[in-house]
Amino acid sequence: MEGNESNEEYEFLADDPDFSVKPVMFSLIIGAFFAILNETLLNIALTTLKDVFDISTPTVQWMVTGFMLIMGILIPVSALMLQTFTTRQMFMGTMTVFTIGTIICALAPTFAVLLIGRLIQAVGTGLLIPIIFNTFLLIFPPERRGAIMGMIGLVIMFAPAIGPTLSGIIVEHLGWRYLFITVIPFALFSIIFAFKYLRNVGEVTKPKADILSILLSTIGFGGIVLGFSFAGEGEAGLMEPHVYSLILVGAATIVIFTFRQLKLEEPLLDIRVFKYPMYSIALVMFIIVMMSMFSSEIILPMFMQGPLALDPADAGLILLPGALLNGLMSPVMGKLFDKFGPRKLIIPAAAVLSATMFSLSQVSENTPIYVIIISYMLLMLSVSAIMMPAQTNGLNQLPKKLYPHGTAIMNTLQPVSGAIGVSVFISILTAREESVLNQASNPNSEQALTQATVSGVELVYFVAFGVALAGLILSLFVKRARPVDLSKGTSS
């Protein structure tokens, strides 16, 4: 690829015989596992918390909405922080903040205190993933990154997969406070282990902080996440005035933010990462996969508890094999990526994703359970074969100085694309349900309600099929990326 900027030669720490890689990996991964596990640990407990604190559903949903909002605000700033503080300072600082939030949650006497603790947890979690991505990019050369990123994928996917199952067991047998109490010793262990073994990687350049960029980023990404999160709560969805106002203000602010970054010598987020085509393709593929995954995790349980008349526990168990498969296959996909490159993984996986979305658009109240199980397993298998390989391939093309910005942008889009996917597909589902019920002779009958939900789910997955097809077409342009050659300005 042509490039018009040079880069300095550097060697990767994994090739240094005096550098011990395993303690660094273990320090980062154990902290990440329990921080990310915490993201989904509360999902099953929201109903319990609503009853314990005698609060409404929209109020208790702030445990999820607030968490995503803080992550959406903080992750864009992570690129600046990664260049301002050392690896040890960043990791131990974020894990300490996360642990403090967890302790507050465990001891919370009121919902307000619990929510404050949850938001403090989000500060630690939001900054932790960019630290890990950036550190591993600096340690490992491109030809070894697939396996390493696959290991990160195992943590990122496996932890949320077992979160709801663990949550149900803990809440039923120990009580909701133990959702936090059980995490505390592991978080403390991670801090102590990192204090002893974690070494600094990369350079601390201390770039100048542009306050206006931070403000624009906060309003822009915060408005988008908050707006789309609210869209799933109101009856009118995206048509609620406060919803579309937040989204429009957020989108307009992000446009202003983008133009400002292009003018700054030291941008908060360097938008020039988008001139590297494999990175741009990876980002779009990442958004498509995240929207497909997040929306399915919401839509399928609604379908199973509605037309299929399953209880919540059974619905969760039906999705568990697919979630576990996704986590377990991430390291395998990483090693296959190192060996065969991205095309032989991403193109077939995009085809499987498209076929799965089409298959789910044909569901009915008579669909056998095994069809749902197999479809979700295929969905999550294709996600594991697309997400980490695409991310790794895209980041591989960036020069070293853009690693913090590339990882920050990708991780910023995780809560953003998740919120957009859920709200858009929920809005489509709700609109189709209302349309079907308005035409029904007896809209309150069980048959009419079932038919409305089935029709809504069919439309959601038909739209998702179109999105997946776009991803399949895009995957045809993927090729193995190499970092820009530092002396020649071309890909090596």
Reduced to 3 states (helix: H, G, I; strand: E, B; else coil), residue 490 is strand
- 44 secondary structure, DSSP code: T
Q: Which residues of 211-245 are buried (b: 16+ CB within 10 A; e: fewer)?
A: eebbebbbbbbbbbbbbbbbbbebeebbebeebbe
Burial of 455 (0-12, 13-18, 19+ CB in 10 A): middle
Q: Residue 12 pLDDT > 80, yes or no?
A: no
Continuous segment of H or E residues that includes residue 41: helix 21-41
CA dihedral 37, 38, 41, 47 (to 10 degrees): -160
In this predicted model, which residue has the larger pLDDT, 289 or 315? 289
pLDDT band at residue 311 using 50, 70 and 90 as cut-offs = confident
Q: In this model, does residue 164 exceed pLDDT 70?
A: no
Residue 11's pLDDT band, with cuts at 50, 70 and 90, is low
Q: What digits encode the pLDDT tens for the residues 184-208?
A: 998 898 888 888 877 777 677 777 8
| Global confidence as pTM | 0.74
Q: Please give the residue that has the higher pLDDT: either 48 or 220.
A: 220
- The 8-class DSSP code of residue 460 comes to H
Contacts of 35 (CB under 8 A, 6+ apart): 95, 98, 121, 124, 125, 128, 187
pLDDT category of residue 144 using cuts at 50, 70 and 90: confident
pLDDT band per the 50, 70, 90 thresholds, residue 2: very low
Percentage of residues in the chain having pLDDT higher than 90: 23
Please spell the DSSP secondary structure of 288-325, one letter per residue. HHHHHHHHHHHHHHHHHHTTT---HHHHHHHHHHHHHH
Q: 55 exposed, middle or buried (CB, 10 Å; 0-12, 13-18, 19+)?
A: middle
pLDDT at 305: 76
Token duo for residue 403: 């690693």
Residue with the larger pLDDT of the pair 168 and 304 = 304
- CA separation for the pair 302, 312 (Å, rounded): 9
HSE of 140 in the Cβ direction (CA atoms, 13 Å)?
A: 24
- Helix H, strand E, coil C: the string for 333-398 is HHHHHHHHCCHHHHHHHHHHHHHHHHHHCCCCCCCCHHHHHHHHHHHHHHHHHHHHHHHHHHHHCC
Answer whether 277's CB lies under 8 Å from 481's CB: no
Each residue of 255-275: b (16+ CB within 10 Å) or e?
eebeebbeebeebbbbbebee
Amino acid 486: pLDDT: 44
Per-residue model confidence as pLDDT tens digits over 243-267? 889 889 999 999 999 999 888 888 8
Q: What is the pLDDT of residue 16?
A: 64
What pLDDT is attached to residue 69? 81
- Phi first, then psi, for residue 484 (nearest 5°) are -65, 130
pLDDT tier at 349 (50, 70, 90 boundaries)? very high
Q: Which residue has the tokens 């960036």?
A: 398
Tell me the residue type at 389: P
Res 388 pLDDT > 90: no
Is the separation of the CB atoms in 199 and 24 below 8 Å?
yes
Q: What is the pLDDT of residues 412-428, one digit of tens each?
A: 777 777 777 777 787 78
Give the pLDDT of residue 119: 92
pLDDT band at 134, cuts 50/70/90? Answer: confident
Task: Collapse the DSSP code of 266 into the 3-class scheme (helix H, G, I; strand E, B; otherwise coil) and give the result.
Answer: coil
Residue 100, exposed/middle/buried by CB under 10 A (0-12, 13-18, 19+)?
A: middle
Residues 83 and 401: their CA atoms lie apart, in Å, by 10
409: tokens are 């942008």
pLDDT category at 65 given cuts 50, 70, 90 is: confident
Rounded to an integer, the average pLDDT of 86-109 is 91
Ordered DSSP codes for 132-194: HHHHHHHHS-HHHHHHHHHHHHHHHHHHHHHHHHHHHHHHHHT-TTHHHHTTHHHHHHHHHHH
How far from 65 is each of 33, 224, 230, CA to CA, in Å? 21, 12, 8
Asked if pLDDT for residue 1 goes beyond 60, the answer is no
- Quick one: pLDDT at residue 487? 47
**Residue 483 banded pLDDT, cuts 50, 70, 90:** low
Structure tokens given for 223: 């408005």
Sole residue written with tokens 């999160």: 229
How many residues are recorded in the chain? 492
Whole-angstrom Cα distance, residue 472 to residue 489? 30
Would you state the pLDDT for residue 215? 92
- pLDDT band of 169, cuts 50, 70, 90: confident
Give the lowest-confidence range in 30-44, 79-93, 271-285: 30-44
- Beta-bridge mates of residue 222: none
Q: Mean of the per-residue pLDDT values for the chain?
A: 82
